[in-house]
């Protein structure tokens, strides 16, 4: 009986976790065009960096999305873990859209969380909870006071910065639940 309960718990945990392999093709922005609806306002995630996360700093540099949640529209209300190459260093950051105000319009809505090491795994949680957008990444935290998030929640998939593309495929597997 104990074995049956243990097996049931493992199956349930596996069913609640998804590993999604993403590829942003060379010269493209999007990893996929599908919409993944979420039941909750927060998700746990992990991803591992590899050699495809290394590229020359582009002339029109900017943040690339790794994972996030949007409520109705990704340019209206969203919270994201983002990535940028700058001076040969990979940097992970956070970035919020709040009531249509972008982080470029209000710099307190974005910041740096960590630098990457190729081959390392990064994990945490992000979303909306108790009146705050929040992001945790390998024990580092950031939160931003906001009103209640309402609307259709959807997962934000990896995306190369809107003003540039890279010359090779960018690959990552995001595990989320």
Contacts of 108 (CB under 8 A, 6+ apart): 144
Residue ranges covered by each domain of the chain: 19-176
Helix (H, G, I), strand (E, B) or coil at 6: helix
Is CATH 2.70.170.10 the right assignment for the domain spanning 19-176? no
Q: Give the model confidence (pLDDT) of 7-58 as tens digits.
A: 333 333 333 468 889 999 999 999 988 889 999 999 999 999 999 999 999 8
Q: What is the pTM of this model?
A: 0.86
Q: How far apart are CA 168 and CA 54, in angstroms?
A: 10
Helix (H, G, I), strand (E, B) or coil at 123: strand
């Amino acid at each position: 009986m104990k074995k049956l309960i243990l097996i049931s718990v493992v199956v349930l945990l596996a069913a609640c976790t998804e590993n999604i392999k993403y590829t942003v093709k060379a010269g493209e922005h999007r990893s996929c065009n599908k919409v993944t609806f979420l039941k909750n306002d927060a998700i746990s995630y992990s991803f591992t960096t590899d050699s495809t996360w290394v590229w020359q700093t582009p002339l029109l540099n900017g943040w690339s999305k790794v994972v996030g949640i949007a409520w109705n529209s990704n340019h209206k209300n969203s919270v994201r873990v983002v990535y940028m190459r700058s001076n040969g260093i990979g940097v992970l950051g956070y970035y919020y859209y709040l009531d249509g105000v972008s982080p470029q319009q209000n710099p307190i809505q974005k910041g740096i969380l960590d630098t990457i090491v190729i081959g390392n795994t990064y994990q945490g949680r992000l979303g909306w909870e108790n009146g705050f957008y929040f992001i945790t990444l390998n024990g580092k935290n950031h939160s931003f006071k906001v009103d209640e998030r309402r609307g259709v929640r959807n997962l934000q998939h990896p995306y190369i910065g809107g003003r540039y593309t890279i010359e090779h495929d960018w690959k990552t597997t995001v595990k989320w639940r």
